């Protein structure tokens, strides 16, 4: 028995040594390192370069080659959603174009070995792992690398174990790609889930360029009946055409906000339209006091009574809700809500001439507010301004029936202190009066950008709780690090363990959240000229509560 135990111990030691074994070769191979990008794995792209591996190699007796890379994924990884993995040698100087294929493995598994041969250089050598997802990959799936083992021609091997905090690789979908259907840029996402589980996504179709209104812009809509796995072809649901005998470039409609009436089963989409403003001007500046379409921006609505299959002609409600002295009134953008009592609420914003200099030098100030209907959309009303110098907002109902307005605060353009961030106010009387929330301008950093806020009743530790979910670029100065956060104390705190970063690179930064079902939060957000869709498990957002 003692001899057997000794034999087993020696065998285990040999196995451990074999993983990082050295030989009598003149080559010295350093410990490898690995980084994983915080970007989605898109089936719409054949190559997703998401993992980089590098190590030093020094020697002169003969050439040294890398002969295989073995990747192990954790047993909860969605490897069935992978079509292939490729390993590319990118040389000894990062950033210098060089791409030599080591191997491609189709239909990889939990343990995947890519075998080939690439001659290495003396110095720090870099490899990239590129992933190809199946067309039917689950946008809620993810991959977590457990270890990577490198094997060399001199019989040496090196193993990498990811450090704590290494990102998982998450699947996603490019819902709208730049140039698709003749549209240069897709922007301004809105997203809701109907009672039947249908996902309705809306957005700007910016045909000529990325410019805001005034331009040739229509409202597009995408529809999914399987939780975002597949999407029907895009449809244009708001197109003001050549109203007044003017070109489409002078009749743009944009910045959509989508609302689902959970009582009556109707969908509403609000958009901003103005006719005749020169395309070399921004509608933000061109719109003036007044009520006519040629004078000021118009608050228009379209409606669907069949789960988004067909849509009405636009209805103009500007006369109902705009003060003629205001320079501009518009919706969210993003999404509205149905309150527990059936009241329909759009987030909104207005711009009023107050004769004093605003933060950007104009003689006006802006206020976030709400537009609401207590009769299913037959008539509409508007609240008062929640805070000066706030614009794009989102609204959620709290557990006591009050409304929380989460606002883009334009003070963040100049104030980059520790107290900047999203402004937050609460109303119990549909916007007649507002109270500053304890988290205002302190709990949710932002780089002056639109953000998304939704509320949902979920089960936590056996009890039903009202949870808030929020998304925005989690960065004070740049639109990077798109992150989804959760709060279980109605927005007072947003713990770090209840946050998931989805997209680290810079993008245009707008996003919109929806509850896809009881277990998943869906998000539609902007890259650069594109819109990305992903799903996140609720229990992950809650820190596995």
21 has a pLDDT exceeding 70: no
**pLDDT tier at 317 (50, 70, 90 boundaries)?**
very high
CATH 2.120.10.10 fits 173-541, yes or no: yes
Report the C-alpha gap between 155 and 67 in whole angstroms: 10
**pLDDT tier at 34 (50, 70, 90 boundaries)?**
very high
pLDDT of residue 2: 43
pLDDT in tens, 49-58: 999 999 999 9
Higher local confidence (pLDDT), 517 or 281: 517
447-477 b/e with 16+ CB inside 10 Å = b?
bbbbbbbbbbebeeeeeebbbbbbbbbbbbe
Please state, as a whole number, how many other Cβ atoms lie within 10 Å of the Cβ of residue 494: 20
> What's the whole-number mean pLDDT along residues 298-327?
98
Query: So where are the chain's domains?
Result: 21-170, 173-541
Tokens of 6: 């000794």
Question: What are the residue ranges of helices labelled H in 379-511?
Answer: none
pLDDT in tens, 370-379: 999 999 999 9
pLDDT of residue 358: 64
pLDDT of residue 202: 99
Q: Compute CA 351 distance to the chain's CA centroid, rounded to the nearest angstrom.
A: 28
pLDDT of residue 545: 45
> Over 60-116, what HEC string results?
CCCCCEEEEEEEEECCCCCHHHEEEEEEEEEECCCCCCCCEEEEEEECCCCEEEEEE
**pLDDT tier at 19 (50, 70, 90 boundaries)?**
very low
Cα separation of the two ends of the chain: 47
Cβ atoms of 404 and 437 within 8 Å: the answer is yes
pLDDT of residue 70: 98
Q: Is 495 left (phi over 0), alpha (psi -120 to 50) or beta?
A: beta
Peptide bond before residue 70 is cis, with ω within 30 degrees of 0: no
**pLDDT tier at 144 (50, 70, 90 boundaries)?**
very high
pLDDT of residue 24: 56
pLDDT of residue 375: 98
**pLDDT tier at 172 (50, 70, 90 boundaries)?**
very high
**pLDDT tier at 1 (50, 70, 90 boundaries)?**
very low
Cβ atoms of 178 and 44 within 8 Å: the answer is no
Tell me what the pLDDT averaged over the chain comes to: 93
Nearest residue to 299 via CA among 247, 262, 336: 336
Report the C-alpha gap between 441 and 410 in whole angstroms: 11
Cβ atoms of 245 and 260 within 8 Å: the answer is no
Bridge partners of 101, per DSSP, are 88
Report the C-alpha gap between 446 and 474 in whole angstroms: 6
> What's the whole-number mean pLDDT along residues 134-154?
97
Please identify every residue annotated as catalytic.
Answer: 392
Tokens of 462: 């056996």
Pairing label, strands 344-352, 365-373: antiparallel
pLDDT of residue 412: 82
pLDDT of residue 353: 81
pLDDT in tens, 474-511: 999 999 999 999 999 999 999 999 999 999 999 999 99
> What's the whole-number mean pLDDT along residues 215-223?
98
182 has a pLDDT exceeding 90: yes
Q: Give the global pTM.
A: 0.93
**pLDDT tier at 444 (50, 70, 90 boundaries)?**
very high
pLDDT of residue 241: 97
**pLDDT tier at 10 (50, 70, 90 boundaries)?**
very low
533 has a pLDDT exceeding 50: yes
Bridge partners of 48, per DSSP, are 131
Q: What share of the chain is helix, strand, coil (3-state, %, to 5)?
A: 10, 45, 45
Please state, as a whole number, how many other Cβ atoms lie within 10 Å of the Cβ of residue 196: 9
pLDDT in tens, 300-313: 999 999 999 999 99
pLDDT of residue 418: 52
Tokens of 413: 């353009």
Domain 21-170 fold is: Immunoglobulin-like (2.60.40)
> What's the whole-number mean pLDDT along residues 163-175?
96
**pLDDT tier at 16 (50, 70, 90 boundaries)?**
very low
pLDDT in tens, 330-354: 999 999 999 999 999 999 999 998 7
Q: What is the DSSP letter of 439?
A: T
> What's the whole-number mean pLDDT along residues 234-241?
98
360-374 b/e with 16+ CB inside 10 Å = b?
eeeebbbbbbbbbbe
pLDDT in tens, 77-133: 999 999 999 999 999 876 666 899 999 999 999 999 999 999 999 999 999 999 999
Higher local confidence (pLDDT), 185 or 1: 185
pLDDT of residue 14: 40
Report the C-alpha gap between 419 and 157 in whole angstroms: 50
């Amino acid at each position: 028995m003692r001899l057997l135990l000794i034999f087993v111990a020696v065998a285990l030691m040999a196995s451990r040594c074999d993983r990082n074994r050295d030989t009598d070769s003149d080559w010295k191979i350093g410990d490898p390192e690995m980084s994983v990008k915080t970007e989605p794995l898109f089936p719409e792209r054949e190559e997703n370069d998401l993992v980089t591996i590098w190590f030093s190699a020094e020697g002169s007796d003969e050439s040294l080659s890398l002969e295989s890379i073995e990747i192990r994924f954790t047993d909860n990884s969605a490897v069935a959603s992978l079509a292939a993995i490729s390993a590319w040698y990118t040389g000894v100087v990062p950033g210098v174009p060089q791409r030599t294929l080591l191997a491609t493995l189709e239909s990889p598994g939990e343990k995947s070995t890519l075998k080939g041969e690439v001659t290495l250089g003396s110095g720090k050598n870099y490899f990239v792992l590129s992933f190809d997802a199946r067309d039917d990959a689950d946008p809620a799936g993810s991959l977590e690398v457990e270890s990577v083992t490198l094997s060399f021609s001199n019989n040496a091997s090196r193993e990498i174990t990811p450090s704590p905090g290494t990102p998982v690789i998450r699947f996603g979908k490019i819902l709208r790609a730049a140039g698709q259907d003749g549209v240069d840029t897709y922007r301004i996402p809105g997203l809701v889930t109907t009672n039947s589980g249908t996902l309705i996504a809306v957005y700007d179709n910016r045909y000529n360029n990325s410019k805001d209104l005034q331009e040739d812009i229509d409202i597009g809509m995408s529809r999914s009946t399987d939780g975002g796995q597949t999407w029907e072809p895009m449809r244009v649901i708001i197109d003001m055409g050549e109203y007044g005998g003017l070109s489409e470039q002078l009749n743009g409609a944009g910045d959509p906000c989508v609302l689902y009436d959970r009582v009556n089963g109707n969908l509403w989409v609000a958009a901003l339209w103005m006719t005749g403003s020169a395309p070399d001007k921004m509608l933000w500046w061109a719109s003036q006091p007044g009520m006519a379409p040629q004078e000021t921006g118009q608050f228009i609505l379209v409606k669907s009574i069949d789960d988004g299959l067909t849509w009405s002609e636009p209805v103009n409600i500007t006369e109902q809700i705009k003060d003629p002295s205001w320079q501009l009134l518009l919706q969210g953008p993003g999404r509205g809500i149905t309150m527990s009592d059936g009241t329909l609420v759009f987030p909104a914003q207005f711009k009023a001439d107050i004769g004093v200099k605003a933060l950007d030098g104009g003689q006006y100030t802006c206020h976030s507010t709400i537009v609401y209907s207590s009769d299913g959309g037959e008539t509409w009303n508007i609240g008062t301004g929640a805070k000066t110098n706030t614009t794009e907002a989102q609204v959620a109902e709290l557990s006591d029936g009050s409304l929380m307005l989460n606002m883009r605060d334009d003070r963040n353009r100049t104030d980059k202190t520790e107290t900047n961030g999203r402004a937050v106010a609460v109303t119990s009387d549909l916007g007649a009066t507002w109270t500053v929330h304890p988290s205002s301008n302190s709990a949710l950093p932002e780089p002056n950008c639109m953000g998304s806020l939704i509320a949902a009743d979920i089960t936590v530790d056996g009890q039903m709780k009202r949870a808030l979910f929020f998304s925005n670029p989690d960065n004070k100065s740049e639109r990077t690090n798109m992150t989804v956060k959760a709060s279980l104390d109605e927005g007072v705190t947003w713990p770090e363990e209840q946050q998931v970063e989805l997209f680290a690179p810079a993008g245009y930064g707008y996003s919109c959240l929806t509850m896809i079902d009881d277990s998943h939060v869906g998000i539609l957000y902007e890259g650069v000229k594109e819109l990305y869709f992903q799903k996140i498990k609720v229990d992950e957002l809650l820190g596995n509560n």
